[in-house]
Structure 1
Amino acid sequence: MREVPQRLAVGEARWPEDRALVERLFRDYVAWAGGDLGNENIEREAARLPGRYARPHGCVLIAHAGPDPVGVAAYRRRRTGVCELRRLFVRPVFRGLHIAEVLLDGLLESAVEAGYRAMAIEVGDRMTIARELYQRAGFAPDRRRAPTRPGLIALRRSLVASTPAARSSEVVEG
């Protein structure tokens, strides 16, 4: 079993310096997910980085444990006032250390600062641990939006008058 460094650092991706690292972490996520992301094209997304993840409408966070890049998470604008959580991934050897929670909290804070009113995500119906994380973070089923393909669940979380410490599952229009 690998010993985890005591220090976890989470920071925003710097472009173009972190482009190759973000691409590698996104590809690790796709491989972990079984390579099936439906109609998503990881090749096109990787070629366009930062693309829709660039400020002011998007954000990519990278987690490092010591010198090792161990996780990534991103959001991008879905439509006015609503961003979409994407690619939350922690390398398997580093799971169980609350790195995903730290990344998610950072994205929620960033999205609030960027003026978003809600954050949405589609999660695989078999991703029990991920769904539990999102539920603890205040995400609830988005009954107004159908998932883009079978096997996914649409979730949404209000960001209105909230911070990661003050979570709400209120659904906002938008």
Structure 2
Amino acid sequence: MLIEIRPSLDPELAALITAQQRELVESGVLAGRIFEPDDDVEYLVGVVNGRGVACAAWQAHGPGAAELRRMYVRPAFRGRGLARQMIVAIEEEALAADRPLLRVELESGLAAAIALYQSSGYRQVTPIAPGRVRFEKRLPALVQ
């Protein structure tokens, strides 16, 4: 999989995020929020055979920290390690921007996503709200 940085208004990115939101609404996890692109977020798209099949983003979140957002892999491409590749790419981008602490907030009903983050070294911190959980990971410093 090739991972590319894409602008917030990229059509393939928009299609991926729309598919993610549709899936979350249909599963009852999300109550119909609408994607609004942010200019202060860096978006990555995973491309297989010229087609965007995965996305993720990160956003600065306080001094030395970043929030991982918009993680999604099209259902037909799941189970191939693409989500883990996207996490690693986000971690590398955040670390290069001197943001060694990564956070991710999830709906507590997303068992597969929770398992993915836990197996990627993220630890759960104090719950933030009913039905939502937060995970954090401190990344090792880059060796120069």
Q: TM-score range by the shorter chain?
A: 0.7 to 0.9
* Alpha-carbon distance between aligned partners in 1 of 2:112 and 2:13, rounded to the nearest angstrom: 23
- Please state if 1:120 is matched with 2:103: yes
* Alpha-carbon distance between aligned partners in 1 of 2:63 and 2:30, rounded to the nearest angstrom: 25
Is 2:13–2:52's contact at 8 Å kept on the other side of the alignment?
no
1:160 deviates by: 4.0
For the residue of structure 2 that corresponds to 1:34, the secondary structure is: helix
Is 1:121–1:156's contact at 8 Å kept on the other side of the alignment?
yes
Which residue of the partner structure matches residue 172 of structure 1?
none
Query: Which structure 2 segments of 5+ residues have no match?
Result: none
Write out aligned runs for 1:1-174 (5 A). Answer: 8-13=1-6, 15=7, 19-34=10-25, 37=30, 41-43=33-35, 45-46=36-37, 49=38, 51-53=39-41, 59-143=42-126, 146-147=127-128, 149-161=129-141
For the aligned residue pairs, the C-alpha RMSD in angstroms reads 2.2
Could you state the TM-score of these two structures normalised by the residue count of structure 1? 0.72
Identity %: 23
* Alpha-carbon distance between aligned partners in 2 of 1:97 and 1:91, rounded to the nearest angstrom: 11
1:107 deviates by: 0.5
Query: Which structure 1 segments of 5+ residues have no match?
Result: 1-7, 54-58, 164-174
* Alpha-carbon distance between aligned partners in 2 of 1:151 and 1:84, rounded to the nearest angstrom: 19
* Alpha-carbon distance between aligned partners in 1 of 2:2 and 2:67, rounded to the nearest angstrom: 23
Q: Count residues in correspondence.
A: 141
Greater gyration radius: 1
* Alpha-carbon distance between aligned partners in 2 of 1:135 and 1:162, rounded to the nearest angstrom: 22
Read off the aligned partner of 1:152 and give its amino acid letter: R
Q: Deviations over 1:78-130 (max 9, x none)?
A: 21211111010000111001100111110011111110020101122221111
